[in-house]
Amino acid sequence: MIKRLCLLQIALVLFNGTIVAQKSSELQSKYGLPQDAFVIRPGLLMTVKYAADGRVCEMYIIEARTPGSNIALRTPLTPETVPALIDELVPEDERGGKLRWPAQAQGMTVQIDYKFENVSIKLVQNLLPSKGWSDSSLKIKWANRVCN
């Protein structure tokens, strides 16, 4: 009797697993086509949008657990680390001259808007006192390129 119940339970688990498994086409119908994503540093994931001519028009970088990343070795998005990322992702000759870097703080959120002639860059950080900076994001948008 116990053997039959165990077999029935196993059969139900296996049967239920085949019902809820999703296919690529089902995910695409729900959420759209997969986006390009790049691991640019341990713990930093970047997605990209393109203009009609194939050039990048927008980059969005978030702190995330990336394949093979170690939380202790991750690269945080902070005012100290972001300038090096900006130099790497959008070299000075491409971004143009610096216009302004205003910073705003509201509650536990800090936002810094880096404005250049050809791109705007927004760093948003949510502060958790017990953990330091977390839930940070960086958005780089080209002024004269329209995303598809």
Q: Tens digit of pLDDT for each residue in 76-135? A: 787 788 889 999 999 999 999 887 777 777 778 888 888 999 999 998 888 776 665 467
Give the predicted TM-score (pTM) of the model.
0.72
Same domain? For 1 and 72 the reply is: no
Helix then strand then coil, in percent of the chain rounded to 5, is: 30, 40, 30
148 occurs within a structural domain: no
Q: How many domains does the chain have?
A: 2
Give the confidence band of 52 by pLDDT, cuts at 50, 70, 90: very high
Answer yes or no: do 61 and 128 share one domain.
yes
Q: Identify whether 129 is part of a domain.
A: yes
Looking at residue 146, its pLDDT comes to 94
> Quick one: 74 and 131 in the same domain?
yes
Are residues 107 and 42 part of one domain?
A: yes
Residue 105 pLDDT:
73
Q: Are residues 70 and 121 in the same domain?
A: yes
Residue 71 in any domain: the answer is yes
Say yes or no: 64 and 109 in one domain: yes
Residue-number span of the structural domain to which 101 is assigned: 35-142
Q: Is the pLDDT of residue 43 over 90?
A: no
Q: What torsion, rounded to 10 degrees, do the Cα atoms 88, 89, 93, 95 define?
A: -140
Same-domain status, 94 and 50: yes
- The confidence score (pLDDT) of residue 148 equals 86
Asked whether 113 and 138 are in contact (CB, 8 A), the reply is no
pLDDT in tens, 11-36: 555 555 555 567 888 888 988 888 77
Confidence at residue 56, expressed as pLDDT on a 0 to 100 scale:
94
